[in-house]
Amino acid sequence: MKAGSIALLILIVGSGIAANGHESPEHAIKAIDRKLAVEGGNSRLLVRRGDELRAIGHFAQAIASYRDALQFDPHSPNANLGLSRTLLAAGDFAECRAVVDSALPYSDDITAASLHAVLAEAASMQGDNVAALAAWEQAIRSPSPEVDWLLAHAETAGRVEGPKAKRLALEAARRRNPSVVLHREAIATLIECGDTSAARSMIQAGLQQSHWKRSWLLLRASAYERDGDLEHARRDLAVANAEALDRLANRPENPALLRQLEEVRMRQAALAADLVIVNARVITMDEETPPAEAIAIKDGRITAVGADEAIREHLVDDTEVLDAQGRVVLPGFIDAHIHPSPTFDELSPYGVVACGPEAVSSIDELIERLRRKAEHTPSGEWVRGRGYQDTKLGRHPTRLDLDQASTAHPIYIVHSSGHVAVANSYALSIAGITRETADPPGGAFDRDSDGEPNGVLRESAKGRISDSGPEPPEPSLSEWIEGMRRTFARYNRVGITSIHDAGINPDKLRRYQAFQSEEPQVRVYAMLRRRYLDDLQETIVRSGRGDAWLRIGAVKDFHGNSLSGRTCWLYGPYADRPGYHGIPPATSQEKLNARILAIHEAGLQACIHANGDREIDMVLDAFEAALQQSPRDDHRHRIEHASVVNQSILERVKRLGIVLAPHSYIWEHGDKMEAFGESRWPWMHPNGSAIRMGIPVAGTSDSPVSEARPMLRIQSMVTRTSAEGKCYGPEQAVTIDEAIRAWTWGGAFASFQEEEKGSLKVGKIADLVVLSRDPWATPPNELKDIEVDCTVVGGRIVHDVTRLE
C-alpha cells in the first residue's frame, strides 16, 4: 500500500462519535464542548474532541486538543496516538516521530503496535525507508496486525532490500492472515520478480474459485505484460472491461467498480500500438515465431506478430499504420564489424578525400582529386585520403605520384584495407623516414631499386606517419554529432539498425554517449581498443555496460595483418610471390597470451583481428590457454575476419566456443584473392563451413574496406562472385536464409543481445526493415539490387522511401 493511502486510513481509524455513531463531527464537537464547559478539564473528552476535529481536517485545533489532554494525563495512550496520527496527516513528520518516541516507553502492546505503524509511515514519508522497515517490523509483531500493516511492511522491505525481500514478507504475511488482498499482492510480487509462470498458476486457481473475475484478469494481464505478451494481456483486459460494464449496469454509482473500470481503460490505452505494419510478409528469423502478415509496436518494442485481422485490434486513433503492400519485412540488419566516421564535405577542414573505385579509376584521377583538396587547404596542413585499391588502379601510388598533387602539403592516403598507406615526400620528411630507416617489427617500407622509400607503408610502418607532425583539425562535439548523424542516416537507408564499431578510443566513446542521449538512429556495440582496457573497466564500474542504444564490454585487438593488403601471415607462400609468407605479427605468442588472458579474466569479450591461417592459430592458442587457466562458457570471444582457414582451425573454433565475423566482400575484393592461389579459395571467408558446423557467424562489411550495404554483402555470401563475374570458392556459399540470419540474429548473438534483437518476436526491440523485393524470389545475382523501402529503429521510422500509408 502506498504511504498516502495509509495516512488516509489513519485519519479515519478512531475518529470517535462521528465515525461510529449517527451524529456529524460538528454536532459531536459541540456536544463535547458543552460537557467540557460543565465538567472542566477532562483528558478523555479532550481526546474525543481531537478525534472529531481530525476527522474533518481541522488539524491545528485537533493537535491543540490532544496536547490539552496530555496536560491532564501525560501518559494517555489515546492522546499520544491521536496526536501522532494528526501530526502525520498534517505533514509534520519530524514532530510526529518525536511524539511516538516519547510515548512508546509507557504504552501497552496494542497501543505500541499502532504507534509503530504511525512511526513507520512518518519515516517512509521522509524517505527514511530503513527506519520505516524497522518500525513496521515492530508493528506487525502484534497478535493481530492490520492487513494494511502487513502490506506496508512488505512494500517497505522491497524498497530497502529488493523484490525478493518483499516476496518473502508477503509469504510470511499470508501464513498469518489468509486475506485475499495479501494473496493478490503476493501474486503481483511474483510477477514483479519475473516468476510469471508461478503467478499465472495461482491466478488460474483464483479464476476457477471466483464468480467475479476482474481482479484476477487484471493480475494475469500484468503477468502477460511482464513477459512482453501484450496480445494476451489485451484479451484479459477486454474481458475485465466487459465484466465491469456488466456489473455497472445494475450498480451505476458503485465507486469501486468505477475506479476499476478506469484502471482497465487506462491500461488498455497504454497497451495500444504506436505503430502497426499490415499487409506484409513478415519473416521473423525466429524459430518459434512463424511468418506472419502484420506486426504491432508499442514503446519501441514488438507487442504482437500475426494475422492482419488480429493485429488491427491493436489500433486506436493515434496508431500509425503502414501498409507494406505485400512487401517482405525482416529484422533490422546488424553490421557486426564496421568503422564509422562522421560524414563531412570533402573540401571542408575535416573532409577526407575519397580515393576508392567509386571516386577514381586511375592514378591520374587520384592525383587530380588530391590536388583539388590541396588547393582548399592552407600550406603545411595535412591532406588525407582513404580507400584506394591497388588492384583497381593497377599498382600502389608512390610518393612521386602524390608529390604531383602538392609538395606544399604533407599528403597521406590509406589503402581500402586500412593496413597499407602512401605518403608524399613532405610527409616522409616530417616523419624522418629515409633510406637508412629500418623496417619496424610487424611492418615494412616499400623501396625503389635504389633502396629509397617509395612512400608505400605497410602495417606498423604506417605508425611513423600517424605519430608525427601536427594532428589534423578535429571537429567539435556538435560538428561530430552532425557528421555522424549523416553517416547513420546513410546506414538507415540500407537497413542497418545496429553496428559493432570495431576499435574506438575513450574520446569516441564519450562522443557516442553524448550522441546517443539525443535522438538515436543506429544502435552501437562499441569495441574499445586493447590499450584502453583499464579505461573500459573503470567505465563499467562507474556506469555499467550501457543500454540498448550504446553498449560496451568488448575489447578489440590486432594479431596479424591484412588480406587485401597482402600482408597477413600464412603457413604457405603467397601464390604470386614465392617464398613470401606475409609479414609476421609484431606480438609474440607469450605476449598475445597475456593480452587475451587479461581481457578474459576481466569478464570481457575479446575481439581479435586475424586474417592468415598462421595468425589465427596463434590467436586460438591464446584463447585455449586463457580458457584452461580461467574456464568460462559465457565468453563469446571473437575472431574478426578469419580470412584464410582450414578444417583443423574451424574444428578448434567450434570446440573453444569462438564466434566468427568473416569478410563478405568478394564483390569488391575478389581480385585480392588471386594472390593466395586457387587452392586456398575453398577455405577463404569460411561462412559456409562455419555455419554448417554450427559455429556462430555474424555478418560484416568492415566498411570502409567494403561498402556498408547489407543486401550486397548477402549476395556476396550467397554467390561468392566478384563484380567482374568470377566465382571464388563456391564451397563456402550459403543459402539466403543463412546469410540473412548472419546479418540479423548472428550480429545480435555476437554482442550478447540475441534476447533483445536480431529477430521479430513479441517483447523484442522493434528494429526492422521493409524491402522493395522478396529476396527468396529474386535471382541471387540481383540481391544487391533490392532496396530498403522503410527502416524502423526502436519503433520509430527513420527511413521511408515510399511513404507507405
Domain range annotation of the chain = 1-126, 272-326, 353-466, 527-759
Q: For residue 438, which amino acid is it?
A: A
Q: For residue 513, which amino acid is it?
A: Q
pLDDT of residue 802: 65
For residue 286, with 0-12 CB atoms within 10 Å meaning exposed, 13-18 middle and 19 or more buried, which class applies?
middle
Q: How many CB atoms lie within 10 A of CB 89?
A: 18
pLDDT of residue 214: 87
Chunked mean pLDDT (size 10), the chain, 805 residues = 40 41 76 86 90 93 95 93 96 96 93 96 94 95 92 92 88 88 87 87 90 88 84 84 83 80 81 92 94 94 92 85 96 98 88 90 95 92 91 93 95 90 93 92 91 92 78 87 95 98 94 87 96 90 89 94 90 95 94 97 96 98 98 96 98 98 94 95 98 98 94 98 96 98 98 97 95 98 98 96 57
Q: Do domains 1-126 and 527-759 have the same CATH topology?
A: no
Put simply, whether the predicted model's pTM sits higher than 0.95 gets the answer: no
Beta bridge partners, 304, equal 296
Q: Is residue 227 classed as helix, strand or coil in its secondary structure? A: coil
Question: What is the strand order of the sheet 353-354 is part of?
Answer: 353-354, 383-388, 411-415, 420-423, 453-459, 443-447
187's CB contacts (< 8 A; 6+ apart) are 199, 202, 203, 206, 219
Q: Parallel, antiparallel, or unpaired for β 453-459 and 420-423?
A: antiparallel
Tell me yes or no: is domain 272-326 CATH 2.40.30.10.
no
User: Residue 30: which region, alpha, beta or left (left: phi > 0; alpha: psi -120 to 50)?
Assistant: alpha
**Residue 92 phi/psi, 5° resolution?**
-90, 75
The whole-angstrom separation of Cα 336 and Cα 687 is: 14
For residue 8, with 0-12 CB atoms within 10 Å meaning exposed, 13-18 middle and 19 or more buried, which class applies?
exposed
Instruction: Tell which residue, 619, 670, 626, has the closest CA to residue 640.
Output: 619
The whole-angstrom separation of Cα 361 and Cα 496 is: 28
pLDDT of residue 41: 75
Instruction: Tell which residue, 740, 71, 43, 707, has the closest CA to residue 340.
Output: 707
Q: CA–CA distance from 635 to each of 524, 631, 641, 722 (Å)?
A: 19, 9, 18, 35
What's the CATH number for 353-466?
Answer: 3.10.310.70
Helix (H) / strand (E) containing 550: strand 550-558
Q: Are 586 and 559 in contact (CB under 8 A)?
A: no
pLDDT of residue 286: 94
Which fold does the domain 1-126 belong to in CATH? 1.25.40
**Residue 458 phi/psi, 5° resolution?**
-115, 135
Place of cell 493515434: 318
pLDDT of residue 732: 98
Q: Where are the alpha helices (DSSP H) in 1-141?
A: 3-12, 17-20, 25-39, 43-55, 59-72, 77-90, 93-103, 109-125, 129-139
For residue 356, with 0-12 CB atoms within 10 Å meaning exposed, 13-18 middle and 19 or more buried, which class applies?
buried
Place of cell 509511515: 121
Q: State the CATH class of domain 527-759.
A: alpha beta
